Structures are given as C-alpha cells and as structure tokens.
Amino acid sequence: MSRDLRPADTPEPPYYAVIFTSLRTAGDDGYGETAQRMLEAARRQPGFLGVESVRDGLGITVSYWQSLEAIAAWKADAEHRLAQREARRWYAAFRVRVCRVERASGF
C-alpha cells in the first residue's frame, strides 16, 4: 500500500471514520496488490474523504467518509466484497469500527 506521509486533509466535521485494526498472517499471498487496488477503488468511491494507514506489527487504517451511506456503499462494492472474502487468508485478526467525527483540529 502506498504511504502518504501526511495526515488526511478532511473537511470540517461532522464526517465519519472507519477504523480497521489488523494483525497480518505470514507472507504476502497477494495482499500487497489487493491492498493497493482497494485503496485506488476507495478513492474513486463517492463520499470518500481520505485515508491514513500505518503498520508496525499491528496495522491501523482509518478511512474518512462523508456519510454512513457512503460507507455502506463502499462495504457493498463488488471488488471490495471479493477482497473481504479473502480476509482470513491475510489477517490473523481484525476489527472494524465506525465513528462519527464531531471535532477535529491540527496544523
């Protein structure tokens, strides 16, 4: 997955964050290519605002969305659904959390 070394540039709240926390299994087994395709597909999805991701043992990816409807559409995306079916091959464990961002600050 390509790494943008800056925080995502999000609009004024409210908006939504999907937090995907994961532990990988050993080996790539097509993960890298699929992760890059999913990032590119998410960026094309209506309502996508940005993403931040880091992996140092535990992986944390936070994607930002305009609405719950945009998140539901991404979850239902055909290519994304195919990747979701492979989750047990690439992850020893994962959690998905959806949050409403009420306040944000930074410089």
Encode the chain (107 residues) as per-residue pLDDT tens digits.
Answer: 445 678 999 999 999 999 999 999 998 889 999 999 999 999 999 999 999 999 988 999 999 999 999 999 999 999 999 999 988 899 999 999 999 999 999 98
Considering only CA atoms, which of 80, 20, 14, 73 is closest in space to residue 51?
A: 20
**Which of 51, 55, 49 shows the shortest CA–CA distance to 13?**
49
Q: What angle do CA 71, 12, 15 make, to 5 degrees?
A: 20
H or E, element range at 50: strand 48-56
Contacts of residue 25, Cβ cutoff 8 Å, sequence gap at least 6: 89, 90, 91, 92
Model confidence, pTM: 0.90
Domain locations along the chain: 15-101
Q: What is the CATH number of domain 15-101?
A: 3.30.70.100
